[in-house]
Structure 1
Amino acid sequence: MRYRLLPALVASSALRASAAPSASSDSAETYDYIVVGSGPGGGPLAAELARAGYSTLLIEAGGDEGDNPTYAEIPWFNEAANDELTRWDFWVKHSDDPEQDLKFAHTTWDTGDGTFYVGLDPPEHAKLLGIQYPRAAVLGGCAMHNAGVCSMPADDDWNIIVNKTGDTSWDAKNMRKYLMQIERNEYLPPGAPGHGYDGWLATSIQDSSWARNDSLPDPDEAADLVNRDLLELDDKADETSSFYSMVTHADARGMRASPNNYIRATLADPAGYPLTVKLHTLATRVLFDPATVGVDGVVPRAIGVEVMEGPSLYKADPKHVKGTKGPLKQFHAKREVIVSGGAFNSPQLLKLSGIGPRDELAKFNITLVKHLPGVGENLGDNYEGSILAMGSAPVETGLITLLFRTPNAPNKKRNIYTWCGAFSFEGFWPGFPTYHGPTQYSCAMVHLAPKSQAGSVRLVSADPQDKPEINFRFFEHGGKEDLAELVSAANILREAINAAGEPVAPLVEKHPCPGGKDEKCTDEAQAEFFKLQAYSHHATSTCAIGGDDDEMAVLDSKFRVRGVAGLRVVDASAFPVVPGAFPSCPTMMLSVKAAEDIIAEAKKQE
């Protein structure tokens, strides 16, 4: 398959300079706080700090597409994720075995003639790119190009931080208040327990009137099942297998709700909150007080950031023009620098700034500020896969969401999140997804609580415009068990799909068992399929919170970078484990918790 590459934008002469000038700290702009990255971690945090009266600079490498219907309207999420206007392409690995990765059906190649080739039989001389992992460089971050699913982690995913650090503020019952703080619920009557109605993040559900179709055996029961609240407050929720509504961070009209809205509302508020946003600004390193670096007994202190100004400067941007650089500039922070670049870019920026594994930094002649071996390690993600079948007629239903426990799950907790409907979702590649025709039907699966977090984000150079090397090392630990759970889920869903009556039946499966399960499609064969074709898009945990006794811990429970003053990381990289099925809403909750912690600390110092 071939896909067009958007011709690169013509760069201005200023941006074509072969070498950027040295940044000068003279008359550098100064703020109380500097936040790098405007996604689910950094965006709400910056707005909260400014609303608390602290001058805050928010730095974003992309632009603002809040008024662009492709991003503002949730139904266009596939187009948003493919859009070169904001897309950053990371080409990742799934394992240390290059031959295994080359079996991924949607491996992508650069043909050299302005197109991508996607598949297993590339044309001669095509350059291997790898497995696409799109991110969004835009005000609001990846919450602007995702499908907007809003779900809660299992209680254990919050409580693990309590167990690691002793900080009881991370207790799952306490964390619920942050959902209530940010949520503006539009699908339940006012006063539903565990929900908020006055926040900046609209939540809604899809129309489920299709479930009252008189042709169903019990339309009232069916409607009740698919309308169950996915975000319900229930102590037994993590052990409950059930159908649910799919909650999205969007309003009832389908308009996306994200940090973009909150940032823009903060900027426009008549109160004149001291928030400054710098768009098209690439952070290149965190600045440290030179009197505190390399001095025995002195804790290094972050005092600002250096940036490169201009659009499409990062090489993950498909619009980047080779050799393009921008002028360097410095900003200073009186209080703190907060890195919120996400699971790929936060560890990269820390390493470029001298914080990370000693040997890796020495390899690129980066001056060591603090040896923290956990920076860029512990990369985790949900395993994802799907059953795809073709019916004899189009399936006339909406999306059906189900959370359930497979019989081989390691404990009583549910371990699969699935949604089924007339769509296809088989991973990511330029131009995804494939439309298989009007009778396509899929059950897409997200595996909860994966056992392996063996991935890494590592530098390839000291150039801040270069992308890091990203390897997820799927199934490195506990892989046999995780694959068995995916296969068990597929078998359960296959039985459900095949129970469909006329005129939809019979359905002919395309994968993981082409033609249907028979003697050729054993559990072992399905496990091999998922091992090679699983995909993901919920990267977390590369700057993980941990206890004082954990040498791989990067942050303490208040998001402070260990062994460094004036520096925190607030985004999905802070989670010690993958938080549930979808990290967007949990990261926004984490963000407002961080704001609460930071503001409380600032008040004590005043």
Structure 2
Amino acid sequence: MRYPLLSTLAILSPILTSAQDVSYDYIVVGSGPGGGPLAADLARAGYSTLLIEAGSDEGDNPTYADIANFNEAANDETTRWDFWVKHSDDPDRDLQFAHTTWDTGEGTFYVGLDPPEGAKLLGIQYPRAAVLGGCAMHNAGVCALPAEGDWDVIVERTGDESWSAGNMRRYFKQIEKNQYAPAGEEAHGYDGWLATSTADSSWAQNDTQPGTRILKKLAELTGQDPADVANLVNRDLNDGDPNADETSSFYSMVTHADTQGKRSSPNNYIRATLADEANHPLTLQLQTLVTRVLFDNTTINSTTPGVLPRAIGVEVLEGASLYRADPKHTPDTPPPPTKQIFARREVIISGGTFNSPQLLKLSGIGPSSELAQFSIPLIKHLPGVGENLGDNYEGSLLALGASPFPNGLTTLLFRTPNAPTAKRNIYTWCGAFSFEGFWPGFPTDHGPTQYTCALVLMAPKSQRGTVRLVSGDARDRPEINFRFFEEKGEEDLGELVAAANILREAIAAVGEPVAPFVEQHPCAGGNTTSGNDSSSCTDESQASYFKLQAYSHHATSTCAIGGDDDPMAVLDSRFRVRGVEGLRVVDASVFPVVPGAFPSCPTMMLSAKAAETILEDAEKGNTRRRR
């Protein structure tokens, strides 16, 4: 069911209806995990802030509000933006991806390897969410903190100690409203805006359950005590253990949801800020596409040493479904007239890993040769914009049992024997579900006996992907190529295979009545209970499978923070776009490397850091007045 926009806007005040000749202290472009909380924090500090979102508000829509509906949310055309990406430069290789998607020309998609005659190739679907709250409104809500080293990379590259893992924990505690740990736990926060909760794992106390047999075998294979699995599965995923990054352990999966299963996201924080009796100066403008950042002509053309081009506002198009990634977009419809909105202090781009570099390039910031190709006037040559695209590799071991699997979810972080460091490299969750990547209408329901161990390879070796313009039209999707396994691919594939072998050996312990499990992939047709035929389930065959069928949905790093000596650095450690003034980027695109297994909560943490940083800068002798 599609929910009308007006029903959700009625509680939000104020709402901007005309952008012409309006100015604010700050303009934030994008309401996801980076921009949404940041806009609320700036307004709560007393600065007039405009938050611009291309989509609608679905905060009252149960498809989004109830976190159990995340598959439906990611498929919903109400908010979905379809990016069609490449996994490599080899079109023949990409065409072997089992869920390659085609436009039949009849208003439907074909997904598979044998398209009907005349079908148009679209590619590999990578859905994003154009909605108040961003992709935190359609994800599964896993809230996992990254390895400490993922934060320390920024310290090493910039020398800025404020990015240390210990300091970043402070921002997690600031935003968290923990609803599962005992009150007063040092690692957690209890008064923030982001509710966190865990699922019930009491089923693991029954030693006779099929799931418990798998747990015990997994414990044995990963160096844990099989006799203690009932307690181990309740371990806190974000407990602050200084040795956690080198510890293989079960956990209770933490989600950004409350104990009633209601999604907690930037949407809630934005709406609470708008509804607050304190009347915070936050203005929300929905269904608005930002086409470029505006710069002061006097600074662009200045020959005075030290004067840098200064961002002073944005140009926008107002209307629904203007971006061509929106499946509701009407082709060949002329765009509405452009309008301009001005910022007295700064413009902050938070469009996400795909759209933030696109907007920078459309605004004249990026590789000069690429901008010249589309006749975009150059403001600042920054060759790193749209480069360094990274993502975790994901895959799954899927099997069908002799009867339905009766138990709950198992969450495990572990190190494979061939991992390059002492740190754990795999995040896996196993249970009676199906997850094999993304395509229109995903996932495939394999019936009541399906069992999946989905796995994420953390710290991928290759970040060689790119986001490139296809035109100077802001409504066009960019070209996105992840270039999977281009750098040290054999190492990454070896780790995926090692993880699959461990998981396969564990689920072979399931026993009756669920046994036998018949594997669907990566070793199709194998009997995991009696052991796979080694001639058909080799490490080589599994590596080939993962190379063709790995997928992802944690894209980061296309506007990376870096040091002054790094020519590919887009931002400094204070989120400032290099070579210009009054412009920052705050979203997952700023991470130099992919942060852990799931970037949603890490991005909300850096949003809190960005708010603190921007407010510090605002108070340093800046004479411009607050509202």
TM-score tier by shorter-chain length is: over 0.9
Amino acid at match of 1:346: S
Distance in 1 (alpha carbons) for counterparts of 2:538 and 2:206: 36
Q: Would you say 1:539 and 2:555 are equivalent positions?
A: yes
Q: Secondary structure of the equivalent of 1:605?
A: coil
Shift of 1:220: 8.4
Distance in 1 (alpha carbons) for counterparts of 2:485 and 2:556: 16
Q: Would you say 1:555 and 2:571 are equivalent positions?
A: yes
Instruction: Please give the residue correspondences for 1:54-453 in structure 2 after superposition, counting only pairs within 5 Å.
Output: 54-213=47-206, 215-216=208-209, 221-296=228-303, 297=305, 298-324=307-333, 325-453=335-463
Amino acid at match of 1:83: D
Shift of 1:215: 2.0
Shift of 1:499: 1.1
Distance in 2 (alpha carbons) for counterparts of 1:302 and 1:550: 23
Distance in 2 (alpha carbons) for counterparts of 1:466 and 1:108: 19
> What's the counterpart of residue 585 of structure 2?
569
Gapped regions of structure 2 (runs ≥ 5): 5-17, 217-225, 527-531, 623-627
CA contact (8 A) 1:313 1:326 kept: no
CA contact (8 A) 1:212 1:220 kept: no
CA distances 1:138-161 after superposition (whole Å, capped 9, x unpaired)? 000000000000000000100000
CA contact (8 A) 1:305 1:331 kept: yes
Q: Would you say 1:602 and 2:618 are equivalent positions?
A: yes
Distance in 2 (alpha carbons) for counterparts of 1:494 and 1:544: 37
CA contact (8 A) 1:201 1:257 kept: yes
Amino acid at match of 2:248: S
Amino acid at match of 1:419: W
Distance in 2 (alpha carbons) for counterparts of 1:220 and 1:415: 24
Cα gap change, 1:124/1:26 in structure 2, threshold over 3 Å: closer, same or farther? closer
Distance in 2 (alpha carbons) for counterparts of 1:259 and 1:223: 34
Q: Secondary structure of the equivalent of 1:337?
A: strand
CA RMSD of aligned residues (A): 1.5
Shift of 1:293: 1.3
Shift of 1:292: 1.4
CA distances 1:83-119 after superposition (whole Å, capped 9, x unpaired)? 0000000000000000000000000000001110000
CA contact (8 A) 1:353 1:369 kept: yes
Shift of 1:209: 2.1
Q: Would you say 1:468 and 2:461 are equivalent positions?
A: no
Distance in 1 (alpha carbons) for counterparts of 2:206 and 2:494: 36
Distance in 2 (alpha carbons) for counterparts of 1:466 and 1:540: 20
Distance in 1 (alpha carbons) for counterparts of 2:20 and 2:330: 31
CA contact (8 A) 1:74 1:255 kept: yes
Distance in 2 (alpha carbons) for counterparts of 1:75 and 1:343: 25
Shift of 1:27: 6.0
Q: Would you say 1:583 and 2:599 are equivalent positions?
A: yes
Query: Normalising by the residue count of structure 1, what TM-score does the alignment of the two structures yield?
Result: 0.95
Gapped regions of structure 1 (runs ≥ 5): 1-5, 10-24
CA contact (8 A) 1:71 1:256 kept: yes
Distance in 1 (alpha carbons) for counterparts of 2:95 and 2:487: 21
CA contact (8 A) 1:294 1:369 kept: no
> What's the counterpart of residue 39 of structure 1?
32
CA contact (8 A) 2:176 2:191 kept: yes
Distance in 2 (alpha carbons) for counterparts of 1:190 and 1:88: 40
Q: Secondary structure of the equivalent of 1:194?
A: coil
Distance in 2 (alpha carbons) for counterparts of 1:208 and 1:536: 27
Shift of 1:327: 2.7
Distance in 1 (alpha carbons) for counterparts of 2:511 and 2:20: 73
CA distances 1:530-576 after superposition (whole Å, capped 9, x unpaired)? 00000000000000000000000000000000011000000000000
Shift of 1:187: 0.6
Cα gap change, 1:27/1:252 in structure 2, threshold over 3 Å: closer, same or farther? closer
Shift of 1:213: 2.5
Shift of 1:251: 0.1
> What's the counterpart of residue 28 of structure 1?
21
Shift of 1:419: 0.1
Distance in 1 (alpha carbons) for counterparts of 2:510 and 2:263: 33
CA contact (8 A) 1:111 1:127 kept: yes
CA contact (8 A) 2:150 2:594 kept: yes
CA contact (8 A) 2:20 2:340 kept: no
Amino acid at match of 2:311: A
Q: Would you say 1:499 and 2:506 are equivalent positions?
A: no
CA distances 1:313-362 after superposition (whole Å, capped 9, x unpaired)? 00000000012322311110000000000000000000000000000000
Distance in 2 (alpha carbons) for counterparts of 1:50 and 1:308: 24
CA contact (8 A) 2:19 2:341 kept: no
Distance in 2 (alpha carbons) for counterparts of 1:49 and 1:385: 39
> What's the counterpart of residue 514 of structure 1?
524
Of residues 482, 492, 495, the one that matches 1:485 is 495
Amino acid at match of 1:280: Q
CA contact (8 A) 1:47 1:262 kept: yes
CA contact (8 A) 1:61 1:311 kept: yes
Shift of 1:193: 1.8
Distance in 2 (alpha carbons) for counterparts of 1:571 and 1:137: 15
Distance in 2 (alpha carbons) for counterparts of 1:405 and 1:26: 52
Percent of paired sites with the same residue: 75
Shift of 1:311: 0.3
CA contact (8 A) 2:20 2:341 kept: no
Q: Secondary structure of the equivalent of 2:620?
A: helix
Distance in 2 (alpha carbons) for counterparts of 1:70 and 1:455: 32
Q: Secondary structure of the equivalent of 2:308?
A: coil
Amino acid at match of 2:149: D
Q: Secondary structure of the equivalent of 1:232?
A: coil
Distance in 2 (alpha carbons) for counterparts of 1:419 and 1:449: 18
Q: Secondary structure of the equivalent of 2:324?
A: coil
CA contact (8 A) 1:34 1:58 kept: yes
Shift of 1:514: 1.0
Distance in 1 (alpha carbons) for counterparts of 2:268 and 2:203: 31
Cα gap change, 1:328/1:222 in structure 2, threshold over 3 Å: closer, same or farther? same
Cα gap change, 1:316/1:27 in structure 2, threshold over 3 Å: closer, same or farther? closer
Query: Normalising by the residue count of structure 2, what TM-score does the alignment of the two structures yield?
Result: 0.92
Distance in 1 (alpha carbons) for counterparts of 2:300 and 2:486: 37
